[in-house]
Amino acid sequence: MNIIVCIKQVPDAKDVRLDPKTNTMAREGVESIMNPFDRHALEEAVRLKEQHGGTVTVVSMGPPQAEAVLRDAVACGADEAVLVSDRAFAGADTWATTYTLGKAIEKVAPFDLILCGKQAIDGDTAQVGPGLAKRLNIPYVSYARKITGLVNGVLSLQRLMDDGYDEVEIPLPGLLTVVKEINEPRVPSLKGKMKAKKLSIKKFTATDIGADADSIGLPGSTTQVVKVFAPVFKGERAMLEGTVDEQVEQLLNKLEPYL
Amino acid sequence: MDYFLTEEQQMIVDIARQITDETIIPQRAELDEKEEFATEILNDIAQADLLGLYIPEEYGGFGGGGFEIVLALEQFGRGCVAIATSFAASALGAYPILLSGSEEMKQKYMPDVATGKRKAAFALTEANAGSDASGIQTTAVLDGDEWVLNGTKQWITNAGEAQIYSVVAITDKSKGARGASMFVVEDTDPGFSCGPKEKKMGIRASSTCELIFKDCRIPKDRLIGRQGMGFITVMKTLDLSRPGIAILGVGLGQAALDEAATYAKQRVQFGKPIISFQAIQHMLADMAIQIEASRALVYAAAKHIAAHPKDMSKASSMCKVFATDMAMKVTTDAVQVMGGYGYMREYPVEKMMRDAKILQIYEGTNQIQRNVIGQELNKEYT
C-alpha cells in the first residue's frame, strides 16, 4: 500500500506569542515543529506500511526551511519526501493550498491512501484534508480514530464523533484525516535519523507541477486575512431563577431579539 | 562541557534524551511505586534502534562501541536507574555470547536481543558466591548430547523478563576457577524456573529473582566458548560492562543536581531564594564538579576500553568506583538541599537516593573494584 502523508511545519504551540502591534503571530525566534496531528498521520502510515508493505511518502508545502519537518518524518519511518516550495505559493489560503497540493500529489506517484492530520495548530481550519480529497476527486473520512481493517481495497475505520464514534468504510484510493487518539507516535530511530540526513528531498516548484499562476498563492486565494486578533470577552452573565418552566420562559425572552 | 561528539553520537544522545524526557520521566514514579517492569518503554528503546547499539551490524545491531552505549545509558540513567538497569542487564547477558560464543550462537540470539524481541540476563551470583565468584555451586554435567544443570542463582537482574540467560556453572570442580563454564539457557528449557520477585530498596521497576535449575537439560551446543573458559568470559564481560554502570551514576547525579538547583532557585527563605545562600551554592558547586569529573572519566574509560581490549580492568574499575560513589553522595546532598520536600515521595530525589545505593553494590562492589585497581597497580610497579 502506497501512502502519502501531508505534513505542515508550524510554530511550536508551547511558544506562541502575538505581536501586540500587528496582532499577528510572532514567528521570529519561535521554534518550528511538525504539526502534531500530522505526526499521528505519519505514525499511522508507518504502521500500515509495516503491516501491509508499500511505501510512505511525505509531502509538505512551505518555505525551504520546511525541509526540517520532512527529514524529521523520514527519521520516524517515511521513505521519501517531497517539498512543494515556490515564492509564488506565498499567501495561499486553504483553497489555493489544496489546489497546489493536489497538483503536486498527481506528480508524486500513484497512491492508495492519503493521510492528513485533522487540522494544523496554527490555522486551525481543518479544511485542507477534505479540500484536497475534493481536488483529487477521491472519497475521504475526517477524524479517523482507529483503522480496523483492510479487505479488498476497502478500509474500515472508526470516526470520532462528539458523542462516540461511527463505524465507516472507505474504498481506496481515498483520504483520511486523523485525530490524536489514533495512535502514540514513535520517537525517531537511529537508522531513520541517519537515512534522513542523507536523503535527497525532491523539490517541486509551481512550474514543476504545472500549476496555473492564477490559482496559487495570494492571487489564487478566495479569502484574505483582514485582521487577526485575540477576542475580548464582552458577554454578560445572568442567573435565571424560578421553576424550570419559568427559567425556560425567561431564556426564550432573552433569545427572541436575536432570532 | 562540550565533549565534541560526532554527529552520529549526538543523534544517539538526542534520541535517548527524547525517550527519557517524553516517556521515562513521566512514568518512573508510578513504575517504582508499583514495582512494575517497563516492558513498553524498553520496546520504544528497541524501536529507536538503541537496544542493539553495541551489537555488530551483521547480527542486526547498530555496530557501535562501548562509548555509544554509555551515551545512551547516561540519558536513561538521568530518567530512571531501574529502567536503565533493565537495558544494561540485557547487554550484560548478551556480552558473553558476543565475546566467546560461536558464530551460530551469535546468529541465533543477537538479532533478537538487538530488536528487543528477546531480552537477555547474566547469571553469576549465588547465595555463597558474590564478590568471591569461586564459591559457585551450580553444576553442569554432560550427559550424551545434553548438559544437565543443577543449582540456584540469586538476585538475577531481568529474571522472569528475559528469555536468554548467560549462566555460569562449574563443569570441573577440581580445577577451581578454570573449572567454570558459561551456558545459554532459554526460559522455555525443561527444569528451568524463576523464583518470586525480590522486594528491593531502589531500582524497583527492574526485575530481580532467583533462577532455579533442577535437572535443567540443554543441548550440547549451548556451551559459550570452550569448557573451562567461564571465568575469563565473566571477567571480560564485567570489564566491558562496568562503564555502563558508571555512567548511570553520572546520569543519576545530573538528574539530582537538576532537581536540587531548580528547587533552590524557587525556594524562598529569609526573603531570598535559597540558591543565593553560600551554604547552598557550595553544595551545588561540589555536586557539579563531581558530576563533570565523573562524566569525563567515564567517557575516557569507555573510549580506552574500546581501543584497548586487553587492558580494560583498571580503567573500567576506576570509572565505576568514582562515578557511583559520586552518585551516592550527590543524591544524598540533593535530598539535603531540598530538605523536608526532598524526603517526600512526591519529589523525585528520594527515589534517586534509593536508586543510587545499588550502583555501589552491583557489577562488583566498590570494595572489589578497589581490589582490582590495587592489584593492577601492584603489577604495574614491579
The model's pLDDT over A132-147, given as tens digits with 9 standing for 90+, comes to: 999 999 999 999 999 9
Residue B62 contacts A where some CB pair is shorter than 8 Å: yes
Q: Of B205, B228, B251, which one is at a domain's C-terminal end?
A: B228
Q: Which residues of B touch A188 (CB under 8 A)?
A: 15, 18, 48
Q: For the purposes of burial, counting CB atoms within 10 Å of the CB of B272, is it exposed (0-12), middle (13-18) or buried (19 or more)?
A: exposed
Interface contact flag, B11 A194, Cβ < 8 Å = yes
Q: Of B87, B119, B151, which one is at a domain's C-terminal end?
A: B119
Give the CA-trace dihedral at B172, B174, B180, B185, to 10 degrees.
Answer: 30
Interface contact flag, A189 B44, Cβ < 8 Å = no
d(C-alpha A149, C-alpha A193), whole Å: 30
% of residues, chain B, pLDDT over 90: 95
Among residues B161, B210, B259, B363, which one is catalytic?
Answer: B363
Whether residue B193 contacts residue B156, with contact meaning beta carbons closer than 8 Å, is answered with no
Domain, as residue range, for B40: 7-119
Shortest alpha-carbon distance between residue A194 and chain B (Å): 8
Does any domain span residue B56? yes
Residue A189 contacts B where some CB pair is shorter than 8 Å: yes
The model's pLDDT over A2-23, given as tens digits with 9 standing for 90+, comes to: 999 999 999 887 767 766 665 5
Lowest mean pLDDT among A12-26, A52-66, A117-131, B187-201: A12-26
What pLDDT was estimated at residue B209?
A: 97
pLDDT for B363 beyond 70: yes
pLDDT for B170 beyond 70: yes
Residue A198 contacts B where some CB pair is shorter than 8 Å: no
Whether B177 and B243 map to the same domain: the answer is no
Best mutation site among A190, A191, A198 for testing chain B: the one with the most B CBs within 10 Å?
Answer: A190
Q: What is the mean pLDDT of the segment spanning B216-222?
A: 98
Residue B11 contacts A where some CB pair is shorter than 8 Å: yes
Instruction: Give me the amino acid identity at A54.
Output: G
What pLDDT was estimated at residue A22?
A: 58
DSSP-derived secondary structure for B338-360:
HHHHHHSTTSTHHHHHHHHHHHT
How many separate domains does chain B show?
3
What pLDDT band is residue A25 in, cutting at 50, 70 and 90? Answer: low
Whether residue B41 contacts residue B277, with contact meaning beta carbons closer than 8 Å, is answered with no
What pLDDT was estimated at residue A21?
A: 65
Whether B64 and B94 map to the same domain: the answer is yes
pLDDT for B176 beyond 90: no
Q: What CATH number does residue B375 fall under? A: 1.20.140.10
Whether B239 and B371 map to the same domain: the answer is yes
Whether B21 and B84 map to the same domain: the answer is yes
Interface contact flag, B47 A186, Cβ < 8 Å = yes
pLDDT for A252 beyond 70: yes
Interface contact flag, B49 A187, Cβ < 8 Å = no
Best mutation site among B8, B49, B55 for testing chain A: the one with the most A CBs within 10 Å?
Answer: B49
Whether B266 and B136 map to the same domain: the answer is no
pLDDT for B252 beyond 90: yes
Does any domain span residue B2? no
Shortest alpha-carbon distance between residue B163 and chain A (Å): 24
Task: Please name the member of B7, B8, B48 whose beta carbon is closest to the beta carbon of A188.
Answer: B48
Helix B81-100 / helix B39-47 crossing angle, nearest 10 deg = 60
Best mutation site among A47, A186, A193 for testing chain B: the one with the most B CBs within 10 Å?
Answer: A193
Which one is predicted more confidently, B12 or A257? B12
Q: What is the mean pLDDT of the segment spanning B179-198?
A: 97
In the structure grid, which three cell numbers stand for residue B244, read together? 555502563
**H-run or E-run covering B143:** strand B139-143
Backbone φ and ψ of A248, nearest 5°: -60, -45
Q: What CATH number does residue B68 fall under? A: 1.10.540.10
Whether B239 and B369 map to the same domain: the answer is yes
Whether B242 and B311 map to the same domain: the answer is yes
Residue A191 contacts B where some CB pair is shorter than 8 Å: yes
What pLDDT was estimated at residue A238?
A: 84
Task: Tell me the average pLDDT of chain A.
Answer: 91
Q: Minimal Cα distance from A185: which residue of B?
A: B44
pLDDT for B327 beyond 90: yes
Angle in degrees, CA A28, A62, A27, rounded to 5: 10
Shortest alpha-carbon distance between residue A203 and chain B (Å): 25
d(C-alpha B239, C-alpha B96), whole Å: 12
Whether B365 and B244 map to the same domain: the answer is yes
Lowest mean pLDDT among A228-232, B65-69, B270-274: A228-232
The model's pLDDT over A39-86, given as tens digits with 9 standing for 90+, comes to: 999 999 999 999 999 999 999 999 999 999 999 999 999 999 999 999
Query: Which residues are CB-contacts of B25 (< 8 A; sequence separation ≥ 6)?
Result: B79, B80
Whether B205 and B246 map to the same domain: the answer is no
Does any domain span residue B135? yes
Q: Of B177, B193, B228, which one is at a domain's C-terminal end?
A: B228
Does any domain span residue B1? no
Q: What is the mean pLDDT of the segment spanning B350-368?
A: 97
pLDDT for A26 beyond 80: no
Q: Minimal Cα distance from A189: which residue of B?
A: B48
Whether B125 and B115 map to the same domain: the answer is no
The model's pLDDT over B257-287, given as tens digits with 9 standing for 90+, comes to: 999 999 999 999 999 999 999 999 999 999 9
Residue B8 contacts A where some CB pair is shorter than 8 Å: yes
Whether B235 and B376 map to the same domain: the answer is yes
The CA–CA distances, whole Å, from A40 to A5, A24, A177 equal 10, 28, 10
What pLDDT was estimated at residue A27?
A: 63
Is residue B363 part of the annotated active site? The answer reads: yes
The model's pLDDT over B74-118, given as tens digits with 9 standing for 90+, comes to: 999 999 999 999 999 999 999 999 999 999 999 999 999 999 999
Q: Which of B42, B12, B39, B188 is nearest to B115 (CA)?
A: B42
Q: What is the mean pLDDT of the segment spanning A183-204?
A: 94
What pLDDT was estimated at residue B223?
A: 98
The model's pLDDT over B7-21, given as tens digits with 9 standing for 90+, comes to: 999 999 999 999 999
Task: Please name the member of A188, A190, A192 whose beta carbon is closest to the beta carbon of B62.
Answer: A190
Interface contact flag, A186 B44, Cβ < 8 Å = yes
pLDDT for B211 beyond 90: yes
Domain ranges, ordered by start, for chain A: 3-224
Does any domain span residue B182? yes
Whether B44 and B106 map to the same domain: the answer is yes
Residue A47 contacts B where some CB pair is shorter than 8 Å: no
CATH number for the domain running over A3-224: 3.40.50.620
Task: Please name the member of B23, B44, B50 whose beta carbon is closest to the beta carbon of A190.
Answer: B50
Residue A194 contacts B where some CB pair is shorter than 8 Å: yes
Query: Which residues are CB-contacts of B379 (< 8 A; sequence separation ≥ 6)?
Result: none
